[in-house]
Chain A
Amino acid sequence: MGYPHKSHPRETAVLSKHFGEPEARSLDGWKKRGGYRALEQALAGTPQAIVDIVKASGLRGRGGAGFPTGMKWSFMKPGDGKPHYLCCNADESEPGTFKDREIMRWTPHALVEGCAIGAYAIGAETAYIYIRGEFDEPIRRMEEAVAEAYAAGILGKNAMGSGKRVDVHVHKGAGAYICGEETALMESLEGKRGNPRIKPPFPAVSGLFAQPTTINNVETLAAVPHILTNGAEWYKAMSLSNPKSTGTKLFSVCGNVARPGNYEIVMGFPFKDFLYDLCGGPQAGRKFKAIIPGGASVPIQTMEEAEATLMDYEGFVAQGTMLGSGGVIVFDDQQSMPRMIARLARFFSHESCGQCTQCREGTAWTTKILERIVAGQGTYEDLDTLLELADNMTGKTICVLSDSCAAPVVSGLQKFRHEFEALITGKRSSSIAMPPSRTAVAAGASA
């Protein structure tokens, strides 16, 4: 449900069913709501059985990459004699995204159970939940839940009396968006600077402490107990558009919208209905102007594109963007797109780890140019420089933070170039509120 709002009738509350219920946080409360039956079942069977069910369900990583989870788990070779690790990526720092926070602070046991099942499935005895340092409440809730689970014998060397060991530890981050990148997360867990690693080697071969490791997002792991309880077919059936996108997704909605919050809908849901019906449309007296549907790293959509989108991985790609983390940032006609994009560039520049030349220098330079344009001191050459910089920053670095910084710049210039030009010429254009139509963009009018 879109806590603090009531569940909308067109939502499908699976993960968010108990958001807002304080009782759901405790072990007893969670058990009353069906918790830990899936784990008990899982531990009684084989790891391979779990992997097969998750594969069949079509569950894809909910952190942003959308990689099929069952397939990712199958990369962990059983019986290799090495310690395997599961890392739960709870570093949620992608602007616009706040779903994992809610899962952890309202249903912490859902994540504990998901981690335990995931660990068992990949042959790991130890799972680390890496939570960003700013998430004081989620950290507290998760630590309490883990402690309760140990006290009740659910975790530990004889998990639920199965004879198998499952350990879960909460690890607190210290303020770095880049630690949400899976290899940087592992570096940070190991007590180092959060610098992403070059791949290969891939984590399943050499990850945490150089051992085979799988990294999964909070929302992904929280879905697993439900899949085991209700079956792969049940999950697969929840698909309104492309059969490759199954299940429910928590979309975090924020910005200039009447009812910001988390909304859980079935994959393939029409975005237009989502925005105007579920989220309540724009605030009074305003009109929607632009949407970033998947967190700050995905291209900006015009309303025309957004309203034609079906909300699944393939649907967003078809409308010029990506599902990403599902963090829906809504900008209305009162916002200056160059100003919003400049602030996003500043975010990426601040969060760059600094390893790669293109990212370290490029994000900072991009920010400075954009801020100068917003301050009214930009030139037309700056727009060319920004696009060349964005090209230089794409596809050339160890991780994609650099590409993420380029995305709003390129899509912003593509679709809202008139706003940039207005700042350069100093004229307040009458069309500043709405972008040119899609046909004009396609004809290359603003490129």
Chain B
Amino acid sequence: MSTNHAPYEPVFVGKRKHDLEAILLRYPKKQAALLPALWIVQEDRGWVSEEGMAEVATALELTPAYVKGVVTFYTMYHQHPVGKHFIQVCTTSPCLCAGADKVTEAFLKHTGCNELGVTSPDGKYTVIEVECLGACGFATPVQINADTIENVTADKVPQILAGLK
């Protein structure tokens, strides 16, 4: 939910508008551009607000409720702002048996978050557990924003955090 009282600035102007138009050419139906359009909104704003959903709905001739149903189905669209570094630790069984829980603990400790899903007071970090990242042979994989870091162990965590800007 948006707590920002400044008026909403549309995302799809200028270059973003051109990007969406190019995307629309790929599909015979406008609706198919929904996931790509939501990605543009998230890349631009860091998250997808209700106004963002409404803007996408209008652009693709869908209802806001419909778009909400899609946004909430997929885990990767943030429905509220998150920390500058969104840290996702895979803890599904193949990684769990290789010590993923210790990696999670280390991130929670060293970022100062202490609780999953809660952004650190300085706004820099949010740590969550995610399901299988598809890099099971490189346990434990950790995705920070769009980058996947392989073979993370608890002892490497401080170094990884130090390397983030």
Complex A–B touching at CB under 8 A? yes
Query: A residues within 8 Å of B by Cβ?
Result: 2, 83, 92-98, 100-101, 132-137, 169, 171-177, 188-194, 209, 252-256, 260-262, 296, 327, 329, 331-332, 335, 339-341, 343-344, 347, 350-351, 353
Docked complex Cα distance between A341 and B70 (Å): 30
Query: A241 CB to closest chain B CB, in angstroms?
Result: 25
Kindly supply a per-residue 1/0 record for chain B positions 51-95, scoring 1 wherever the CB is within 8 Å of any chain A CB and 0 otherwise.
Answer: 000000000101000000110011111000000000000011111
| Residue numbers in A under 8 Å from B60 (CB-CB) | 191
Taking Cβ atoms with an 8 Å cutoff, the residues of B that contact A are 26, 28-29, 31-36, 38-39, 60, 62, 69-70, 73-77, 91-98, 130-139, 143, 146-148
Bound CA span A327–B26, Å: 33
| A332 neighbours in B (Cβ, 8 Å) | 97
Residue from the list B28, B31, B69, B92 in contact with A95, Cβ < 8 A: B92
Given contacts A135-B134, A350-B131, contact A193 B69 (CB under 8 A): yes
Contact of A347 among B28, B34, B131 (CB under 8 A): B131
CB-nearest residue of chain B relative to A2?
A: B137
Q: With A343-B93, A350-B131 given, is the CB distance from A189 to B136 under 8 Å?
A: no
Q: Is the interface of B mostly helix, strand, loop or mixed?
A: mixed
Q: Is B32's CB under 8 angstroms from A296's CB?
A: no
CB distance from A51 to the nearest CB of B (A): 25
Choice from A101, A134, A191, A341 contacting B35 with Cβ under 8 Å: A191
A172 touches B39 (CB 8 A): yes
In the complex formed, the residue of B with least CB distance to A350 is B131
List of B residues within 8 angstroms of A95 by Cβ: 92-94, 131-132, 136
In the bound assembly, the distance between CA atoms of A194 and B131 in angstroms comes to: 17
Give chain A nearest CB distance to B39 CB in angstroms: 6
11 further interface pairs, Cβ-Cβ under 8 Å (given A96-B94, A132-B134, A329-B93): A93-B132, A133-B74, A174-B39, A176-B74, A190-B31, A191-B60, A192-B70, A254-B98, A254-B136, A343-B93, A347-B92
Instruction: Report the bound CA distance from A260 to B43 in whole Å.
Output: 34
Residues of B within 8 A of A194 (CB): 73-74
Are A296 and B93 in contact, CB atoms less than 8 angstroms apart?
yes
Give every chain B residue within 8 A of A100 (Cβ-Cβ).
134
- Are A134's CB and B92's CB within 8 A? no
Is B35's CB under 8 angstroms from A172's CB? yes
Identify A340's interface contact among B93, B137, B138, CB under 8 A: B93
With contact pairs A174-B74, A174-B76, A343-B91 given, residues A98 and B28 touching in the complex (Cβ less than 8 Å): no
Closest 9 CB pairs of A and B: A191-B34, A175-B75, A174-B74, A254-B136, A175-B76, A191-B31, A260-B137, A95-B132, A193-B73
Q: List 17 A-B contacts (CB under 8 A).
A: A93-B134, A96-B94, A96-B132, A97-B134, A133-B39, A136-B146, A136-B147, A172-B35, A174-B38, A191-B62, A193-B70, A209-B32, A254-B136, A256-B98, A260-B137, A335-B97, A351-B131
Residues in chain B near residue A253, CB distance under 8 A: 137
Q: Which residues from chain B contact A190 at a C-beta distance below 8 Å?
A: 29, 31-32
- Please tell me if the beta carbons of B31 and A261 are within 8 angstroms of each other in the complex: no
B70, B77, B135: the one within 8 Å of A101 (CB): B135
Please tell me if the beta carbons of A255 and B98 are within 8 angstroms of each other in the complex.
yes
Q: A175-B75, A188-B35 are in contact. Are A209 and B28 (CB under 8 A)?
A: yes
B136 CB contact (under 8 Å) in A97, A331, A344: A97
- Docked-complex contact B136 and A260, CB < 8 angstroms: yes
Q: How far is the CB of A190 from chain B (nearest CB, A)?
A: 5
Among B60, B76, B93, B138, max chain A CB count under 10 A is at B93
Are the C-beta atoms of B36 and A136 separated by less than 8 Å? no
